Chain A
């Protein structure tokens, strides 16, 4: 069973082509990432799935239900934590959750139970009588997740759930979502944090300008990008030290900061340290900068362009 099937999706806003024949499939139970720069069309794609935007052309299905012709069944399966705050600010948050559960056909007593459970799950139960506006930024994010969970969805869609969220909360959210996925919930996640995608996703689609550039596992993805090993030397040095360890692509020196670009920083680090040590350099500090989405992404589009021009 496919959880999401999009085929040739096009969405135009005036002259802007937000989606340009996007085709993608997400399997039931999969943890699927959607990566891409600002304006790539990630939110637009999600909006079409949940019914907040209408495709100009193409087909989108959720668990086999067409998102337009069979909208009720499609929407019944989805829980969405959107990128923007779109919450009813008139009611205390537990009531907002009860209403949301109600729209999905869950009777009042059960809705109340689920609302409390969802608030406990995301750790803001003590704020249940508060209105959305009076939550802190991180709590607002948590609440959006609670609202997505209160209907017990088969497909959980998270549009940048960790934007502007502190490290601790981010880790908590990751664990929570991972647990849900382990229990069988399909997850569609968009994010700008590549470690987030690496850590959580079974597969990742890279999008740009409304198109799918690539679908790959995080391992494959990581192999595309270059890590940078940043070594701070204890003493001044003249000239770039000789480093011919395998897997090293380039070395630059700026003052005492030595930047080594490589496929896999973890693997070459011992060799680099040994080589520097052998050459008589003392090391003050060592840092690994992982390939960023931008790096990987730039690498991929460059390859794509090269293929086209050949």
Chain B
């Protein structure tokens, strides 16, 4: 292979090597990457789905356990995508092994795309795990119940977009963090509140007009509703518009990632 091929190809051998490394990094420690969301969601489904769900009326005609499932999938998927990208980049800076890629001929965009793709993949896998947990619990709440997928294409499109978006945010977080605390702060004080107020556990229709309007400023609302539309065929907001805005946002954040890498923000002196 000539040097031209190697360099001209943004998704060539170099990109695939970094992607593989990043995927192996989470696949090889499932107890840190896949077990925690599985356990957390067993708790969510048990408490909210079974115990409380029994006493909560159907929302928009859906049993409560089914109503919250898409939101839980979003919560798990995006926080894991974010965590993977931010932690991997921060850890690489901390131990300086990010030099191994920085001193290689990999294009800045290839480096970013590899981190983002691997992190998004982890988010997707966690999404599947949560659905699997849901499949175990749903029949206990609903006689002969299962998890529907009414709009598979929307589901796929939303899941790919939001995991990519949060992986791309994670790259920014990983470059910005000066210490491990910074990542915890991002996760606990920004991501989690946004998700909880993003309509995971309730429909926007139950809110007063003021809170409803405020909620519409929360990007998580569109993500949760988009994924809910994929599963249940129901959404509080326009799914096509949401998808278009989220795709646009994702592309913008990816562009920021590449610009930061090019500038060497947080990684070179």
Contact = CB atoms under 8 A, between A and B. Distances in A.
Interface string A24-62: 000000000000000000000001001111100000000
Nearest to A102: B17
Given A53-B269, A90-B25, A105-B1, A75 B13 contact: no
A179 interface: no
A175 interface: no
B268 A84 contact: no
B264 A103 contact: no
B99 A102 contact: no
Interface of chain B, main secondary structure: helix
Interface stretch (B102-110, B136-144, B213-221): B102-110
Contacts of A53: 268-269
Interface in A167-192: none
Interface in A92-113: 96, 98-108, 111
Contact of A75 (B21, B24, B28, B103): B103
Nearest to B91: A90
Nearest to A87: B97
B188 interface: no
Tell which of B1, B16, B25, B105 has the most Cβ of chain A within 10 Å.
B105
Contacts of B97: 86-89
Given A72-B106, A89-B95, A105-B105, 10 more contacts: A47-B268, A75-B103, A76-B6, A82-B99, A86-B99, A86-B100, A99-B18, A99-B20, A105-B3, A105-B7
A42 to B, nearest CB: 15
Interface string B113-141: 00000000000000000000000000000
A52 B13 contact: no
17 contacts: A47-B269, A52-B99, A54-B269, A71-B105, A72-B105, A76-B3, A76-B7, A89-B95, A90-B25, A100-B104, A101-B17, A103-B14, A103-B17, A103-B101, A103-B104, A104-B104, A105-B7
Interface residues of B, number: 31
A174 B269 CA distance: 31
A52 B268 contact: yes
Interface of chain A, main secondary structure: mixed
Contact of A52 (B1, B6, B12, B102): B102
Interface string B1-40: 1010011000011101110110011001000000000000
Contacts of B268: 47, 51-54
Contacts of A54: 264, 268-269
A84 B95 CA distance: 10
Contacts of A85: 96
A80 B105 CA distance: 13
